[in-house]
C-alpha cells in the first residue's frame, strides 16, 4: 500500500498548495490593485481565520503603508509577525481568547474614520476564533450553543445562520462597527458552494437569515430547549427589521473547487482522475455509502483516482474522540472490507490540517484497516458506535497527520483503486 499512500498524500498536498492564501492574495492584488485613498486616509489590516498568518504576511508586503494590522488565528498556526498584533482564539469552541479577539476587532473597526479603509482578510474558522456576544448574551451562552451545534448534525450554513443572530460581528456586524470607513475583504472559502455569508459567519456581508429562521432551525434540530434561556429570549424577540449592513467590496480568492481541479491535474499523469462530487455533504454514513458505490463502479481496466470535496457532518451518539474526516474514513474501512476487493486506499482530510478537536487532519482506510483495528485488540464496531474514530484509526496507524497548513478550503477525499 506504500505506493497508494504516497500518491494519496501527494494529491492531498496538491489541494493544500492550490489553496495557498498568500499566492491567491498576491494574484488578485496584481490584477486588481487597491484604489487610492483620499489624502490622509489610512489602510488598516485585519486578518481572521486559519489562513490569517500567510494572508497578513502577504498583505503587509503589498498594501501601501498600512497603519495598523491585527491577526486573529488558531494556536496551531500562531507565529509572530513584525508590524502586526497576533491573537489566538480557540476552535472549534470559542473561549475567552476568542472574546478578546472579537473585542480587539471591534475596537479596530471603530477607530476608523470616513477616509480610512479596512482591508479584511477572511478565511475559515473565524466563527469561533473571533467572537463578540450580541447584547444580552455572554461568552458562556455562545459556547453552549456552539457545542450543541457541533453535535447536532446541522450543515455549516444552518450553523452560521444561528451564530450570526447571536453575534455583534458576524452577519455584517463588522461593517456596522467600521462605518463610515471603506471595507474591502479578500475571502478564502471553506464553505461548499462559496456562500460568502457563511464563511467565518460573514463579518463583511449581510446575514444568511432572520432570528425567526434561526429559532426554527434550532427547533427542527431538536436542540431549542437545550439552549440557554438568554439565547431563546433573544431569538424569540421581535426584531425582523434587518437593516442592510453598510456596503463592502468582497472578493473570493480561493475555494474547495480550485483545490479539486488541482488534484485532478496532479493525478492525470498516471491515473484516470474522476471528479465524483464537489459537494460531498450530509451525514458521514451517507457519504461513506456514496464513496463505496463510486468505487464499485470505477473503471476496472485502469488505475482510477476518484476525487471528492465537501464538508460532511457527524451526529454524535457517543462520547469518543474524532472528527468528520476520521469517522468517514472509518466507515469507508468498514464498508470497503465488506464490499470491495483488490488494491485500494481512501484518504479524507481537512485542508486546514485539523479534523475536529484532534491533532489529526483526517483518516486513511485500506482493505486491511478494519481487520488491523481488530488485530490491535480493539472492537471497531464499538468504537464507531461511540464516535471514537480517532482511537480506532490510531490503533491501525491510519491517522492522517499534517500539522496546521495555514489554509482552509474545507475537506477533500481521494479514493485510489488499481485494476483488478
DSSP states along 16-59: HHHT-HHHHHHHHHHHSPPPPPPTT--EEEEEESTTHHHHHHHH
pTM: 0.79
- In the chain, the domains with their CATH numbers are 20-254 (3.40.50.10180), 257-417 (3.40.1480.10)
For residue 2, pLDDT over 80 is answered with no
How would you label 258-289 residue by residue, b for 16+ Cβ within 10 Å and e otherwise?
bbbbbbbebbeeebebbebbbebbebbeebbe
Q: Tell me how crowded residue 346 is: count the other CB atoms within 10 A of its CB.
A: 32
CB 172 within 8 A of CB 206: yes
Q: How far apart are CA 138 and CA 89, in angstroms?
A: 16
Say what the pLDDT of residue 256 is. 95
Range name among 96-110, 189-203, 231-245, 258-272 with the lowest pLDDT average: 231-245
Helical pair 21-31 and 52-62, crossing angle rounded to 10 deg? 30
DSSP states along 337-384: HHH--SSEEEEEEETTS--SSSS-SEEEEETTHHHHHHHTT--HHHHH
Q: Identify the band that residue 205 occupies on the pLDDT scale cut at 50, 70 and 90.
A: very high
Q: How far apart are CA 126 and CA 124, in angstroms?
A: 6
CB 223 within 8 A of CB 144: no
Q: How far apart are CA 364 and CA 362, in angstroms?
A: 7
Say what the pLDDT of residue 191 is. 87
For residue 151, pLDDT over 90 is answered with no
Distances (CA, A) of 180 to 167, 177, 183, 273, 313: 20, 9, 9, 49, 39
For residue 241, pLDDT over 70 is answered with no
| Radius of gyration for the alpha carbons in the chain, expressed in angstroms and rounded | 22
Q: How far apart are CA 318 and CA 370, in angstroms?
A: 20
SS3 content of the chain, % helix, strand, coil (to 5): 40, 20, 40
Say what the pLDDT of residue 242 is. 56
Instruction: Express each pLDDT in 65-124 by its tens digit.
Output: 999 999 999 998 899 999 999 999 998 888 999 999 999 999 999 999 999 999 999 998
The burial of 175, by beta-carbon neighbours within 10 Å (0-12 exposed, 13-18 middle, 19 or more buried), is given as buried
Say what the pLDDT of residue 93 is. 80
For residue 238, pLDDT over 80 is answered with no
Q: Cα dihedral sign for 91, 17, 187, 151?
A: negative
Q: Return the bridge partners of 329, or none.
A: none
CB 21 within 8 A of CB 57: no
Going by C-beta distance under 8 Å and a sequence separation of 6 or more, which residues neighbour residue 86? Answer: 53, 71, 73, 78, 79, 80
Instruction: Express each pLDDT in 44-70 by its tens digit.
Output: 999 999 899 999 999 999 999 999 999
Q: Return the bridge partners of 345, or none.
A: 366, 416
Cis peptide before 340 (omega within 30 of 0): no
> Which alpha helices (DSSP H) does 77-210 contain, by range?
96-110, 126-129, 139-150, 156-165, 173-178
Q: Mean per-residue pLDDT for 298-327? A: 95
**Sheet of 304-313, strand order:** 272-283, 304-313, 411-417, 344-350, 362-366, 399-400
For residue 339, pLDDT over 80 is answered with yes
For residue 178, pLDDT over 90 is answered with yes
CB 148 within 8 A of CB 231: no
Q: How far apart are CA 346 and CA 14, in angstroms?
A: 16
Amino acid at each position: 500500500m506504500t505506493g497508494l499512500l504516497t500518491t494519496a498524500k501527494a494529491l492531498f498536498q496538491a489541494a493544500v498548495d492550490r489553496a495557498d492564501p498568500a499566492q491567491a492574495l498576491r494574484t488578485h492584488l496584481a490584477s486588481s490593485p487597491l484604489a487610492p485613498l483620499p489624502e490622509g486616509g489610512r489602510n488598516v489590516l485585519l486578518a481572521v481565520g486559519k489562513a490569517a498568518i500567510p494572508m497578513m504576511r502577504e498583505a503587509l508586503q503589498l498594501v501601501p503603508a498600512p497603519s495598523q494590522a491585527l491577526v486573529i488565528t488558531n494556536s496551531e498556526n500562531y507565529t509572530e509577525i513584525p508590524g502586526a498584533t497576533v491573537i489566538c482564539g480557540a476552535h472549534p469552541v470559542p473561549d475567552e481568547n476568542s472574546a478578546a479577539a472579537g473585542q480587539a476587532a471591534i475596537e479596530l473597526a471603530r477607530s476608523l474614520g470616513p477616509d480610512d479603509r479596512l482591508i479584511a482578510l477572511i478565511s475559515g474558522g473565524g466563527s469561533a476564533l473571533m467572537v463578540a456576544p450580541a447584547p444580552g448574551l455572554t461568552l458562556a451562552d455562545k459556547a453552549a450553543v456552539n457545542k450543541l451545534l457541533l453535535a447536532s448534525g446541522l450543515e455549516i450554513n444552518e450553523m452560521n445562520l444561528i451564530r450570526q443572530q447571536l453575534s455583534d460581528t458576524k452577519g455584517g456586524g463588522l461593517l456596522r462597527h467600521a462605518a463610515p470607513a471603506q471595507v474591502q475583504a479578500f475571502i478564502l472559502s471553506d464553505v461548499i458552494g462559496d456562500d460568502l455569508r457563511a464563511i467565518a459567519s460573514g463579518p463583511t456581508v449581510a446575514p444568511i437569515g432572520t432570528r425567526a429562521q434561526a429559532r426554527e432551525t434550532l427547533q427542527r434540530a431538536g436542540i431549542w430547549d437545550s439552549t440557554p434561556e438568554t439565547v431563546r429570549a433573544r431569538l424569540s424577540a421581535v426584531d425582523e427589521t434587518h437593516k442592510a449592513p453598510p456596503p463592502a467590496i468582497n472578493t473570493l480568492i480561493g475555494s474547495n473547487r480550485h483545490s479539486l481541479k488541482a488534484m485532478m491535474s496532479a493525478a492525470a499523469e498516471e491515473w484516470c482522475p474522476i471528479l465524483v462530487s464537489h459537494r460531498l455533504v450530509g451525514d458521514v454514513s451517507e457519504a461513506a455509502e456514496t464513496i463505496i458505490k463510486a468505487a464499485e463502479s470505477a473503471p476496472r481496466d485502469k488505475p482510477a483516482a476518484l476525487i471528492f470535496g465537501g464538508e460532511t457532518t457527524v451526529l454524535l451518539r457517543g462520547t469518543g474522540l474524532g472528527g468528520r474526516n476520521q469517522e468517514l474514513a472509518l466507515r469507508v474501512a468498514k464498508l470497503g472490507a465488506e464490499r470491495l476487493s483488490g488494491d485500494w486506499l481512501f484518504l479524507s482530510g481537512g485542508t486546514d490540517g485539523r479534523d475536529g478537536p484532534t491533532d489529526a487532519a483526517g483518516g486513511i482506510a485500506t482493505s486491511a484497516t478494519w481487520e488491523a483495528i481488530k488485530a490491535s485488540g480493539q472492537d471497531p464496531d464499538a468504537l464507531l458506535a461511540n464516535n471514537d474514530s480517532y482511537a480506532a484509526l490510531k490503533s491501525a496507524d491510519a491517522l492522517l497527520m499534517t500539522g496546521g497548513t495555514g489554509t482552509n478550503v474545507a475537506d477533500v477525499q481521494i479514493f485510489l483503486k488499481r485494476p483488478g
